C-alpha cells in the first residue's frame, strides 16, 4: 500500500515502540515475579540474579489460591452456563422478532450493555444482605449473569440474524416448532458465536473486580481476583510474591487467549462495532 | 411414675447438666479480622495472643484472617451486611463511632460490669469507646506521640534533648546549618502521618487544656492558641524542618534515616518501637524516646495519647460471651508482660495497675521507660489528645488533607481551622464524637 | 414460545439491574445508613451534593477523564491502526500484542503499575531517581494523581481500539485507495483524506463507546488511589461507593449515582439510536 520505504521504516518503528509499550508491564511482571523484594528495589529491569521460584509457592499459600481458584471456577462455570442458555434464547427471540415488543426488548438490552454498576449496586447489596446472600457464589453468579447477558445477547443476535431464514423455514415445513427450530437448527449453526460468548463471559467473570470485592468477603469465598487484591494489601513489601500471585491470576486467561485468539478478538472487537 | 423412675430421671438430668457445663466447653470457633502482619508477627500473634487463650479454654478456636490495608473497608462492608468477624478489631475510636451508632456492634456495659473492666482499665481509655453513654469499644493498645532520637548521635555531638519550643527551634536551625534534615518525617506510604504532627503541635504548642475545651465545645477551633499553633506549623514547613522529600518518602524510610544519622529527630508514636531493632541494630546506634518539647504554659513532659485499635463484639456474633471472655483475658498483667516483651508498641493494653510488671525479651530499657512515662503522665493528667482517637471521622479526614493545603499555601491557617470547626460542630451534633474524658 | 425463551434473560436482568436501579432512584430521596429506618428527605440529598466541594471535584474529574478518553486513546489507536496497514507480514502478531492488555484483569495492571512502575521504592520511578532523574510517583501528588490513573487506563484501552480501527481500515474498498494513489497522494495524505473519512462511522461509534465507558470508570481509581490524595482523583463512581459503604450514607450515594447515571443514559440513547439505525436503515 505504501511505496515510500522511508515512511514504511518509520511506521514500523513507531509500531514497534507501541508494541514495546504494551508489553513492558508484562515483562516487568514476568521478571520481577522471580526476584526477591530486595533485588526488585536494586534492579527492577534486570534479569533475575537468582530465580526465586519460592515466590510462587508462597503466593499460592498466602493467597490461598487453591481455594480461590475453585471459587472462581465455580462462579465461571455457573455464569457461562447461565448466560449461554438464557442469552442465546433471548437473542434468537430478538433476531427472529418472536415477541410483539421485540424492539423495546432490544433497546432494553442495548441500554443494559452500558449501565454503570453503581446505578443498581447499593440496593442490590442491601437486598442481598437481608437475604443472607453475601459470601454466596450462587448469588454472585446470578449478578454476573445479569451483567454480562446484554452484551452476549447483542452479539448472539447478530449471529442468528446472519442465518438465512430459509434454513429455518425449511425446517418449519418439516414440522418443526419454534423450540425445535431454535435448538435443532439455529443453535447448531450459531455455535461459534456461542463459543465466543462463552469465552468472553468466562474472561470477564474471572477478571471481575467490583462485585467480587464487595459481595465476597471472607477468605473462604474469595475469587482469585479477591485473593490477589487481599494479598497485595497485606504483603505490601514482598513485591516478588505479589508479582508471582499476579502471574498466577493471569496465566489461565492468557492461555485461553492464545488458543482462542480469533474468537476473542472477533467477539470483542466485532461485538463492539456491530453491537 | 414410681419413685425409682423419678430418681433415675433426676440423676440423668443432673448428669446431663454436669456434662454440658458452661457453653465454653463446647467446640466454638470465633473469627477475628486483623490488619497487616508479616509472617513473624503472625507467629507472635498465634503463639502469644491466641494459643494461651485456646489452651485455657479448651474447645475454643480463634481463627485469624489477615486483611491488610483493607481491614477498615472490609469490616465496614461486612458489618453492613450483618456478616463479618466475631472479634471486631477496628482502627480506632473515630472509626468505630458510626459502626457503634448504627448498632452493628454490641454494647459492652453488661460485660464491663461482669468482669470489672471499668476498674482495671485507665478511665481515659474507657471513655474513648463510649458513645451516647454506652460502652462499645475497648482500646486494644494505647500509644503516645513523642520524639524518637538517635541517642548515640546526640552523645557524639554533645546535643541535649530540647524541652521547650524555643530550644526545639534552635535545635532544628542548628541541624539545618549542619546540612541535616531536622525532622525524620514522610507521608508517602501513609498519608495519615500528617495528623501525627498536627496532633503534636496542637497539644504541645496550644496546650492540652485548650484542646480539651475545643473537644467539649467550649472553644471554637479558630481560637487564638490553635491559630498560633498552626501558624507555627506553617513556619516550620517554610523553614524546611520537614525536609524536601516529605511527600515522597514513607514513615518507615524516614525512621531508617534516623538510625543512620541522616536526620536528627523523629516525631512519631510509640508503635514505632516495633521497628527499633530492625533499623537500629544494623547501625549499632541507640534509640531513645522523649516527650516532644512544650511551649510556655504547657507542662513538660506532655504526651498526646492515642488509641490505634479497638476491640468490639459483632452484633451478629454467635458467641458474644466467648469474645467477652477473650477480651477479659487480654486486659491482664500477664498478657501485657508477655506481649510487650515480644511485640513492642502495639499491645500496650491500657491497664490501670502495672505494678510488678516486668518486661523481658525484646523490650529495651528505652521502651520500658517510655511505657512507664506514658502511664505516669496519664495518671497525672499530663496527656494530650491525638486526633485519630478523639475526633470524629470527617473532621479527622479533613485535618489530614487540609494541613497540606496550609503547607502548600492554598489556604490560610485561619480558614483551615474554620473548616475544622464547621465539620466538628456538625459531627458533634450527630453524636459522632467519642466521649471526652474529664481532665 | 418467544416469550418463554426470552423470559429467563429478562427476568434475571430485571431482578438484578432494573429493580435495584429503580430502588436507587427512590433511595436518592431518603436518608438511610442501611441499618436503621430510612427517613424521607425530599431533595435534600441533591441540595447537599450541589453544595459539596468533593462532589463537584468528582464531577469535574469525570468530565476531564472523558475529555482525555475521547481524544488520546482514539488518536493513538488511529495512528497505530493506520500504520498497521503498511506492514506486510506480522500484523497478527502486532494485533495480539496490542490486544493483550485488555484481556488481563484491571486489578493486576493496577498493582503492576502501582508497585513496579510508579512506586518510589520498588518501581521504575525509583530506578530513575537513583539515576538522578527527579521523577515522582504521580499517584502521591494531588495535581497529578488523576493523570497517573488515566495513563494506566489509556495504556490498557488503546490497543483494543487499534485492533478495531485496523479491522475497519482493512475493509476500505481498495478502489478508493488506488484512485487516490493515482492522483499522487503520499501516505499521510492518503490516511487523512481517504482512510479516516472512510471509517468515520467506526470512529464515531468508538468515541461514543469511550464516552459511555469513561463515565463508568471505577476499578483503576479505586485500586490505585482510592480517590486520593485528598479526593483529588475521586470520580463519581468512587464517590458514590465511598458514600454508601464507608460513610453509610446510601441516600447521597444513590443521588450521586443518579447524576452520572443520567449522563450515561443520555449518551446511551444516542448510542442506541445509532445502532438501531444501522440495523434498520
How would DSSP label each residue in A223-252?
A: -HHHHHHHHHHHSTT-HHHHHHHHHHHHHH
Task: Kindly indicate the confidence band of residue A2, based on its pLDDT and cuts at 50, 70 and 90.
Answer: low
In a domain, A49, yes or no: no
Query: So what's the pLDDT on residue C129?
Result: 81
Q: For an interface test with C, which of A3, A18, A255, A270 has the most C Cβ atoms less than 10 Å from its Cβ?
A: A18
Q: Which residue of C has its CA nearest to B404?
A: C230
Query: So what's the pLDDT on residue C281?
Result: 55
In a domain, A202, yes or no: yes
Q: Which tens digits make up the pLDDT trace of B92-131?
A: 787 788 788 888 999 999 999 999 998 888 888 888 888 8
Same domain assignment for residues A61 and A34: no
Mean pLDDT of A70-96: 95
Q: Which tens digits make up the pLDDT trace of B350-408?
A: 888 777 787 877 778 888 888 888 888 877 778 889 998 888 877 888 888 889 889 98
Lowest average pLDDT, out of A219-233, B14-28, B306-320, goes to B14-28
Task: Kindly indicate the confidence band of residue A255, based on its pLDDT and cuts at 50, 70 and 90.
Answer: very high
Distances (CA, A) of C191 to A9, B153, C158, C187: 17, 69, 19, 6
In a domain, A232, yes or no: yes
Same domain assignment for residues A22 and A63: no
Q: Residue C24: which of A92, A117, B14, B265 has the closest Cα?
A: A117
B143, B305 in Cβ contact below 8 A?
yes
Same domain assignment for residues A24 and A94: no
Same domain assignment for residues A197 and A102: yes
Chain C closest CA to B129's CA: distance in Å? 19
* Nine cell digits for residue B115: 468482669
Distances (CA, A) of B375 to B123, B203, B335: 12, 17, 17
Nearest to C94 among A19, A208, A249 (CB): A19
Q: Residue C130: which of C142, C138, C121 has the closest Cα?
A: C121
Q: Which of residues 168-227 of A touch C (CB under 8 A)?
A: 177-179, 182, 203, 206-210, 214, 225
Query: So what's the pLDDT on residue B2?
Result: 54
How many A/C residue pairs have CB atoms within 8 Å? 298
Alpha-carbon span A234 to A228, nearest angstrom: 10
Nearest to B36 among A135, A229, A236 (CB): A236
Alpha-carbon span B74 to C246, nearest angstrom: 9
Q: Which tens digits make up the pLDDT trace of A191-249?
A: 889 999 999 999 999 999 999 999 998 888 999 999 999 888 776 678 889 999 999 99
pLDDT at C18 over 70: yes
Does this model's pTM top 0.90? My answer is no
Rounded to the nearest integer, the mean pLDDT of chain B is 85
Mean pLDDT of A136-143: 96
Mean pLDDT of B320-338: 92
**Total structural domains within chain A:** 2
| CATH number for position A70 | 1.10.3720.10
Which helix (H) or strand (E) segment is B138 a member of? strand B138-150
* Interaxial angle between packed helices A5-32 and C145-170, expressed in degrees from 0 to 180 and rounded to the nearest 10: 130
Q: Which tens digits make up the pLDDT trace of C116-163?
A: 898 877 888 888 888 888 888 888 778 899 999 999 999 999 999 999
Give me the percent of chain A exceeding a pLDDT of 70. 96
pLDDT at B80 over 50: yes
pLDDT at B21 over 70: no
Nearest to A90 among C10, C254, C256 (CB): C10
Mean pLDDT of A36-61: 88
Mean pLDDT of C13-26: 94
The span from the first CA to the last CA of chain C, in angstroms, equals 28
pLDDT at B22 over 60: no
Beta strands at B28-34 and B60-66: parallel, antiparallel or unpaired: parallel
pLDDT at B1 over 70: no
Q: Residue A269: which of B390, C167, B343 has the closest Cα?
A: C167
B77 vs B3 pLDDT, higher one: B77
Q: Which tens digits make up the pLDDT trace of B281-292?
A: 878 888 889 999
Provide the residue ranges of all domains of chain C, joining segments of one domain with +.
2-279
Cβ of A51: how many Cβ atoms within 10 Å? Answer: 10
Distances (CA, A) of B306 to B143, B347, C82: 5, 13, 61
Task: Kindly indicate the confidence band of residue B90, based on its pLDDT and cuts at 50, 70 and 90.
Answer: confident
Choosing among 1.10.1380.10, 3.30.70.260, 1.10.3720.10, 3.40.50.10800, the CATH entry for C2-279 is: 1.10.3720.10
Task: Kindly indicate the confidence band of residue A275, based on its pLDDT and cuts at 50, 70 and 90.
Answer: very low
A132, A87 in Cβ contact below 8 A?
no
Same domain assignment for residues A64 and A168: yes
pLDDT at C95 over 60: yes
Which residue ranges form the domains of chain B, and what is each CATH number?
A: 22-142+306-379 (3.40.190.10), 143-304+382-429 (3.40.190.10)
Enumerate the residues of chain C whose CB falls inside 8 A of the CB of residue A99: 2-3, 6
A59, A241 in Cβ contact below 8 A?
yes
Chain A closest CA to C156's CA: distance in Å? 8
Which helix (H) or strand (E) segment is A171 a member of? helix A165-173
In a domain, A247, yes or no: yes
Q: Does C1 touch chain A (CB under 8 A)?
A: yes
Chains adjacent to B (≥3 CB pairs closer than 8 angstroms): A, C
pLDDT at B86 over 70: yes
Look-up: residue for cell 503547607? B407
In a domain, A48, yes or no: no
The span from the first CA to the last CA of chain B, in angstroms, equals 69
Q: Which tens digits make up the pLDDT trace of B154-187?
A: 888 888 889 999 999 999 999 899 888 899 888 7
- Quote the domain boundaries for residue A130: 54-274
Same domain assignment for residues A72 and A30: no
C156, C102 in Cβ contact below 8 A?
yes
Query: So what's the pLDDT on residue B19?
Result: 47
pLDDT at B75 over 50: yes
Q: Which tens digits make up the pLDDT trace of A90-129?
A: 999 999 888 888 889 998 998 888 888 989 999 999 999 9
Q: Residue B357: which of B392, B387, B332 has the closest Cα?
A: B332
Cβ of B261: how many Cβ atoms within 10 Å? Answer: 15
Amino acid at each position: 500500500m505504501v511505496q515510500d520505504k522511508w515512511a514504511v521504516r518509520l511506521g514500523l518503528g513507531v509500531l514497534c515502540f507501541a508494541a514495546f509499550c504494551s508489553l513492558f508491564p508484562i515483562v516487568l511482571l514476568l521478571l520481577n515475579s522471580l526476584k526477591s523484594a530486595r533485588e526488585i528495589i536494586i534492579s527492577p529491569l534486570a534479569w533475575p540474579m537468582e530465580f526465586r521460584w519460592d515466590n510462587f509457592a508462597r503466593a499460592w499459600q498466602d493467597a490461598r489460591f487453591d481455594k480461590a481458584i475453585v471459587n472462581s471456577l465455580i462462579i465461571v462455570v455457573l455464569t457461562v452456563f447461565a448466560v449461554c442458555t438464557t442469552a442465546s434464547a433471548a437473542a434468537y427471540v430478538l433476531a427472529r422478532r418472536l415477541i410483539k415488543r421485540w424492539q423495546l426488548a432490544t433497546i432494553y438490552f442495548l441500554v443494559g450493555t452500558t449501565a454503570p454498576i453503581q446505578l443498581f449496586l447499593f440496593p442490590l447489596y442491601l437486598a442481598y444482605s437481608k437475604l443472607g446472600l453475601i459470601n454466596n457464589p450462587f448469588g454472585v453468579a446470578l449478578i454476573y449473569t445479569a451483567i454480562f447477558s446484554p452484551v452476549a445477547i447483542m452479539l448472539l443476535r447478530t449471529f442468528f440474524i446472519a442465518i438465512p431464514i430459509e434454513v429455518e423455514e425449511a425446517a418449519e415445513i418439516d414440522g418443526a416448532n419454534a423450540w425445535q427450530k431454535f435448538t435443532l437448527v439455529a443453535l447448531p449453526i450459531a455455535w461459534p458465536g456461542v463459543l465466543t460468548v462463552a469465552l468472553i463471559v468466562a474472561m470477564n467473570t474471572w477478571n471481575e473486580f467490583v462485585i467480587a470485592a464487595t459481595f465476597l468477603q471472607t477468605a473462604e469465598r474469595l475469587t482469585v481476583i479477591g485473593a490477589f487484591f487481599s494479598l497485595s494489601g497485606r504483603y505490601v513489601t514482598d513485591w516478588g510474591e505479589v508479582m508471582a500471585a499476579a502471574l498466577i491470576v493471569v496465566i489461565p486467561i492468557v492461555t485461553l487467549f492464545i488458543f482462542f485468539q480469533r474468537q476473542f478478538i472477533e467477539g470483542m472487537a466485532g461485538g463492539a462495532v456491530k453491537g | 411414675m414410681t419413685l425409682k423412675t423419678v430418681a433415675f430421671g433426676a440423676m440423668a438430668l443432673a448428669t446431663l447438666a454436669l456434662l454440658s457445663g458452661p457453653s465454653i466447653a463446647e467446640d466454638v470457633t470465633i473469627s477475628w479480622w486483623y490488619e497487616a502482619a508479616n509472617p513473624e508477627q503472625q507467629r507472635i500473634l498465634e503463639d502469644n495472643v491466641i494459643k494461651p487463650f485456646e489452651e485455657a479454654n479448651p474447645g475454643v478456636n480463634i481463627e485469624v484472617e489477615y486483611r491488610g490495608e483493607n481491614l477498615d473497608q472490609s469490616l465496614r462492608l461486612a458489618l453492613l451486611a450483618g456478616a463479618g468477624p466475631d472479634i471486631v478489631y477496628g482502627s480506632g475510636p473515630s472509626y468505630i463511632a458510626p459502626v457503634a451508632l448504627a448498632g452493628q456492634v454490641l454494647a459492652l456495659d453488661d460485660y464491663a460490669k461482669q468482669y470489672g473492666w471499668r476498674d482495671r482499665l485507665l478511665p481515659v481509655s474507657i471513655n474513648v469507646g463510649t458513645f451516647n453513654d454506652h460502652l462499645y469499644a475497648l482500646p486494644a493498645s494505647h500509644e503516645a506521640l513523642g520524639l524518637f532520637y538517635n541517642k548515640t548521635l546526640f552523645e557524639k555531638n554533645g546535643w541535649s534533648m530540647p524541652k521547650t519550643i524555643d530550644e526545639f527551634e534552635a535545635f532544628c536551625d542548628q541541624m539545618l546549618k549542619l546540612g541535616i534534615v531536622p525532622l525524620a518525617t514522610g507521608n508517602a506510604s501513609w498519608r495519615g502521618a500528617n495528623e501525627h504532627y498536627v496532633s503534636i503541635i496542637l497539644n504541645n504548642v496550644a496546650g492540652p487544656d485548650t484542646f480539651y475545651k475545643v473537644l467539649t465545645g467550649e472553644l471554637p477551633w479558630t481560637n487564638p492558641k490553635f491559630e498560633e499553633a498552626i501558624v507555627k506549623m506553617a513556619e516550620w514547613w517554610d523553614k524546611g524542618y520537614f525536609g524536601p522529600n516529605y511527600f515522597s518518602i514513607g514513615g518507615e524510610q524516614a525512621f531508617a534515616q534516623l538510625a543512620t544519622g541522616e536526620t536528627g529527630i523523629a516525631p512519631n508514636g510509640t508503635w514505632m518501637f516495633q521497628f527499633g531493632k530492625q533499623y537500629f541494630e544494623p547501625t549499632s546506634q541507640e534509640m531513645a524516646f522523649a516527650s516532644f518539647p512544650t511551649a510556655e504554659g504547657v507542662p513538660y513532659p506532655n504526651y498526646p495519647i492515642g488509641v490505634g485499635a479497638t476491640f468490639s463484639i459483632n452484633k451478629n456474633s454467635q458467641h458474644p460471651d466467648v469474645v467477652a471472655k477473650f477480651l477479659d483475658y487480654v486486659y491482664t498483667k500477664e498478657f501485657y508482660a508477655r506481649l510487650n516483651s515480644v511485640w513492642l508498641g502495639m499491645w500496650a493494653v491500657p491497664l490501670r495497675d502495672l505494678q510488678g510488671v516486668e518486661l523481658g525479651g525484646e523490650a529495651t530499657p528505652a521502651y520500658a521507660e517510655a511505657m512507664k512515662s506514658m502511664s505516669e503522665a496519664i495518671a497525672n493528667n499530663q496527656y494530650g489528645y491525638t486526633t485519630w482517637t478523639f475526633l470524629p471521622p470527617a473532621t479527622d479526614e479533613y485535618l489530614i488533607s487540609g494541613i497540606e493545603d496550609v503547607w502548600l499555601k492554598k489556604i490560610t491557617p485561619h480558614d483551615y481551622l474554620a473548616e475544622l470547626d464547621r465539620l466538628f460542630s456538625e459531627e458533634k451534633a450527630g453524636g459522632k464524637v467519642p466521649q471526652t474524658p474529664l481532665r | 414460545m418467544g416469550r418463554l425463551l426470552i423470559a429467563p434473560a429478562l427476568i434475571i436482568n430485571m431482578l438484578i439491574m432494573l429493580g435495584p436501579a429503580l430502588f436507587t432512584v427512590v433511595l436518592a430521596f431518603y436518608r438511610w445508613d442501611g441499618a436503621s429506618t430510612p427517613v424521607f428527605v425530599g431533595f435534600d440529598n441533591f441540595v447537599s451534593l450541589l453544595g459539596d466541594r468533593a462532589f463537584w471535584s468528582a464531577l469535574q474529574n469525570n468530565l476531564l477523564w472523558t475529555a482525555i478518553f475521547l481524544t488520546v486513546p482514539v488518536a493513538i489507536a488511529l495512528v497505530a491502526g493506520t500504520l498497521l496497514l503498511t506492514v506486510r507480514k506480522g500484523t497478527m502478531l502486532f494485533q495480539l500484542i496490542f490486544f493483550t492488555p485488555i484481556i488481563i484483569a484491571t486489578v493486576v495492571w493496577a498493582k503492576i503499575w502501582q508497585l513496579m512502575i510508579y512506586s518510589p521504592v520498588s518501581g521504575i520511578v525509583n530506578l530513575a531517581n537513583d539515576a538522578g532523574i527527579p521523577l515522582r510517583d504521580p499517584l502521591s501528588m494531588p495535581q497529578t494523581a488523576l493523570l497517573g490513573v488515566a495513563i494506566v487506563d489509556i495504556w490498557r484501552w488503546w490497543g483494543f481500539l487499534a485492533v478495531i480501527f485496523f479491522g475497519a481500515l482493512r475493509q476500505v474498498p481498495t478502489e478508493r485507495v488506488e484512485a487516490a494513489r493515482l492522483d499522487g497522494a503520499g501516505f499521510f495524505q492518503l490516511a487523512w483524506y481517504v482512510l479516516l473519512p472512510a471509517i468515520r462511522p467506526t470512529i464515531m461509534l468508538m468515541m461514543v463507546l469511550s464516552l459511555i465507558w469513561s463515565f463508568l470508570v471505577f476499578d483503576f481509581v479505586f485500586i490505585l488511589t482510592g480517590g486520593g490524595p485528598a479526593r483529588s482523583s475521586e470520580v463519581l463512581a468512587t464517590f458514590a461507593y465511598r458514600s454508601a459503604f464507608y460513610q453509610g450514607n446510601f441516600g447521597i450515594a444513590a443521588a450521586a449515582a443518579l447524576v452520572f447515571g443520567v449522563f450515561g443514559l443520555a449518551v446511551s440513547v444516542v448510542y442506541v439510536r445509532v445502532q438501531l439505525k444501522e440495523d434498520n436503515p
